[in-house]
Amino acid sequence: MIINHPLLGPRDAAEFVYLGDASLMDRPDGMTASDEEMHDYMYLRDNPAGEHRELWYHEQGDRSWLVVTRNTLTHEITMVELARDVARSRGRSK
Amino acid sequence: MGYSAFKVFWQGLTGNKGWQPAWREPDPRPQYDIIIIGGGGHGLATAYYLAKEFGVRNVAVVEKGWLGSGNIGRNTTIIRANYLLPGNQPFYELSLKLWENLEQDFNYNAMVSQRSILNLIHSDPQRDAFARRANAMRLSGADSELLGPDEIRALCPFLDFDNARFPIQGALRQKRGGTVRHDAVAWGYARGADMHGVDIIQNCEVTGIDITDGVCTGVQTTRGPIRAKKVAMCAAGSSGRVAALADMRLPIESHVLQAFVTEGLKPTLPGVITFGAGHFYVSQSDKGGLVFGGDIDGYNTYAQRGNLPVVEDVCEGGMAIMPMIGRARLLRGWGGVMDMSMDGSPFIDKTGTQGLYVNAGWCYGGFKATPASGYCYAHLLAKDQPHEVATQFRLDRFRRGAPIDEKGVGAQPNLH
Ligand SMILES: Cc1cc2nc3c(=O)[nH]c(=O)nc-3n(C[C@H](O)[C@H](O)[C@H](O)COP(=O)(O)OP(=O)(O)OC[C@H]3O[C@@H](n4cnc5c(N)ncnc54)[C@H](O)[C@@H]3O)c2cc1C
């Protein structure tokens, strides 16, 4: 698979480390979240067949985190964003 | 129709004209006591033991493709009981015991071959870890031994013993481990279940799970609705998709594992060998091909194929441990979708919905588990109580802080 990095252009997916579903960006506040919320965040996944937004880390490159939109049935990648931009667009500071 | 050596001989003399289909092809009936979703190894074994051991015969196995189209026909056929943790090891030892008597039990030649498994050791800390594991194995009643380099040299002279980076210092051996012909396992269980009255319905995909007031009442399929008192999910790599039909999210991600086979060679490998410093394992099939594999690709996927970086990584692992493999030509490579769980261990449990049960999370190691998974799932379905070796395979174990994490890497499925 080739990931079209927003800053560096097309890169081999082997340069990246895969973390999982992009919802992992939305960690509940550990001080206020209920056990149930924390459990669901940590352990449960949608695991869809089809479009999947997921986190990839460019470990062998510029060390940025990306949100990749990829089809889990075909491996086709339709969108690549900097995770930082995705977080900021939702009002987060970083 | 029972199979025997005499029958093979007699059919040989009479032109092999007397064989009959090994199981019926029934249409689904409107109602069953138990419907099993997924006709892979685990689903068929569950049906077989339900009918044979627990006396529940009004059972259907509903399979979306043909028998053996899933991972039961794609795995690298290794069986073993060499786990560490008390939540796992007694279960796998029960499985190995069931394998040992399987062919007599279901009267089918599954080519169970206890040709041993060697886990190679490359450092002192690894020897300590394997010594501990060997003791844990013995505590569960399984066999285990630690070998030194000389004993391994006598068995496998072709390994790269004096590798500068990863010299071979020993191995953990389980003599009762080995290989089994995987599709014969599906066929043997299917035939055995069918003979006890189970309906095996192929080309029938479950498209909906009917739930009324928190009670599961049946399933919708591409061949119409079927009622049932109990519905047993058993869809391995598709567990997430099937659970979603019941509005459940599972502690599972679906990943692809690839495997490879070379051209046929003369008998060379004494058994299964695993590399302890990288991820590579190899055995030799009865046709002579070297069957090998390594790491999963590592990203969510339902496509039954992987990518090239893992092919390269697996082949590098092979060259590091067994340089002669570089002379063999690769015949085929393929991939299968597996249900990687959050701690690398499986689930055999009830769900929050009455009458709905789950069997999932077998990761890349569910083939060896087939007999015990079927037996324990049948036990749960028939008695509503877990079997004593499967009490820890609960869906709520993360909530209780009781994961069964053999590798100790946490909730990161692609690291298990
Ligand atoms: C390449 C590879 C190598 C492996 N090597 C080993 C090994 O050496 N040793 C080992 O122990 N394990 C190994 N495994 C793991 C093992 O194969 C699996 O854990 C095990 O086979 C899963 O259980 P199963 O046989 O029931 O799965 P499957 O055969 O996949 O059965 C699940 C069935 O459910 C059906 N299904 C899915 N959705 C629906 C639906 N909606 N309606 C109806 N039916 C449905 C599917 O069609 C499928 O037939 C390997 C796996 C792979 C991919």
- The dihedrals phi and psi of A38, each to the nearest 5 degrees, come to -65, -40
How far is residue B58's CA from residue B15's CA, in Å, rounded to a whole number? Answer: 37
Q: Does residue B291 sit in the same domain as residue B395?
A: no
B258 shares its domain with B330? yes
Does the structure show a pLDDT above 90 at A6? yes
CATH number of the domain that B261 lies in? 3.30.9.10
Q: Examine the domain organization and report whether B155 and B194 are in the same domain.
A: no
Strand order in the sheet with B280-284: B145-147, B170-174, B117-121, B272-275, B280-284, B289-300, B252-264, B330-341
CB within 8 Å: B299 and A54: yes
Which atom of ligand 1 lies nearest, measured to the CA of B235?
A: 34
Of A14, A48, A75, the CB nearest to B309: A14
Beta strands in chain A (DSSP E): 2-5, 9-12, 17-21, 51-57, 65-71, 77-82
Residues B145 and B281 in one domain: yes
| Residues in CB range of B190: below 8 A, 6 or more apart | B22, B23, B39, B44, B61, B67, B200
Cβ of B90 less than 6 Å from ligand 1: no
Q: What is the CATH number of the domain that holds B396?
A: 3.50.50.60
Residues B153 and B239 in one domain: no
B338 lines ligand 1 (CB under 6 A): yes
Tell me, yes or no, whether B123 lies in a domain: yes
Q: What is the distance in angstroms between the Cα of B304 and the nearest Cα belonging to chain A?
A: 9
Any ligand 1 atom below 6 A from CB of B60: no
Cβ(B237) – ligand 1 distance below 6 Å: yes
Cβ separation B303–A1 shorter than 8 A? no
Query: Is B112 among the domain residues?
Result: no
**Domain total of chain A:** 1
Q: How many Å apart are CA B406 and CA B413, to the nearest integer?
A: 12
Mutate to test the interface with A, among B207, B254, B258, B301 (most CBs of A within 10 A): B301
Whether B261 and B246 map to the same domain: the answer is no
Task: Kindly list the residues of chain B whose beta carbon comes within 8 Å of any beta carbon in chain A.
Answer: 240-241, 244, 249-254, 298-303, 307, 309, 342, 398-399, 411-414
Confidence check: pLDDT of A68 > 80: yes
Report A:7-66 residues touching B (Cβ under 8 A): 12-14, 18-21, 35, 39-40, 42-49, 52, 54
Structure tokens at B278: 């990288």
**Å from CA of B296 to ligand 1 middle:** 14
Q: Check whether residue B258 and residue B406 sit in a common domain.
A: no
pLDDT in tens, chain B (416 residues): 689 999 999 999 999 999 999 999 999 999 999 999 999 999 999 999 999 999 999 999 999 999 999 999 999 999 999 999 999 999 999 999 999 999 999 999 999 999 999 999 999 999 999 999 999 999 999 999 999 999 999 999 999 999 999 999 999 999 999 999 999 999 999 999 999 999 999 999 999 999 999 999 999 999 999 999 999 999 999 999 999 999 999 999 999 999 999 999 999 999 999 999 989 999 999 999 999 999 999 999 999 999 999 999 999 999 999 999 999 999 999 999 999 999 999 999 999 999 999 999 999 999 999 999 999 999 999 999 999 999 999 999 999 999 999 999 999 999 99
Give the ipTM of the model, two decimals please. Answer: 0.96
Assign residue A56 the CATH number of its domain.
3.30.2270.10
Q: At residue B330, what is the residue type?
A: L
Alpha carbons B250 and B397: distance in angstroms, whole number = 12
Q: Please say which residue of B341, B368, B395 terminates a domain.
A: B341
Q: Residue B56: what residue type?
A: V
Instruction: State the pLDDT at residue B284.
Output: 97
Specify whether B213 is located in the same domain as B103.
Answer: yes
CA-CA distance, B89 to B140, in Å (whole number)? 7
- Expressed in angstroms, the distance from the first to the final Cα of chain A is 28
User: pLDDT-derived band of residue A94, with 50, 70 and 90 as boundaries?
Assistant: low
Q: Are residues B271 and B147 part of one domain?
A: yes
- A43 and B301: CB-CB below 8 Å? no
* Domain shared by B217 and B355, yes or no: yes
Task: Count the domains in chain B.
Answer: 2
Instruction: Please state the φ and ψ torsions of residue B361, each to the nearest 5 degrees.
Output: 80, 30
Distance B205 CA to ligand 1 centre (A): 16
Report the residue from B244, B253, B302 with minimal CB separation from A73: B302
Q: What is the pLDDT of residues A22-51, one digit of tens each?
A: 999 999 998 999 999 999 999 999 999 999
| Amino acid sitting at position B371 | P
A94 neighbors A84 (Cβ within 8 angstroms): yes
Question: Among B134, B215, B228, which Cα is nearest to B174's?
Answer: B134
Does A20 contact B342 at a Cβ distance shorter than 8 Å? no
Mutate to test the interface with A, among B297, B299, B342 (most CBs of A within 10 A): B299
Q: For residue B84, report the distance from its CA to the centre of ligand 1, in Å.
A: 23
Q: pLDDT by residue (tens digit) across B99-153?
A: 999 999 999 999 999 999 999 999 999 999 999 999 999 999 999 999 999 999 9
pLDDT attached to residue A93: 79
How far, in Å, CA of B61 to CA of B292, rounded?
31
The model carries a pTM of 0.96
**pLDDT band at residue A91, thresholds of 50, 70 and 90?**
confident
Any alpha helices (H) in B164-307, and if so which ranges?
Answer: 182-195, 239-244
State which residues form the domain around B167. 117-176+254-341
Q: How many CA atoms lie within 13 A of B338 on its CB side?
A: 32
Specify whether the CB–CB gap between A19 and A56 falls below 8 A.
Answer: yes
Asked if B53 and B90 sit in the same domain, the reply is: yes
Q: Largest Cα–Cα distance in chain B?
A: 66
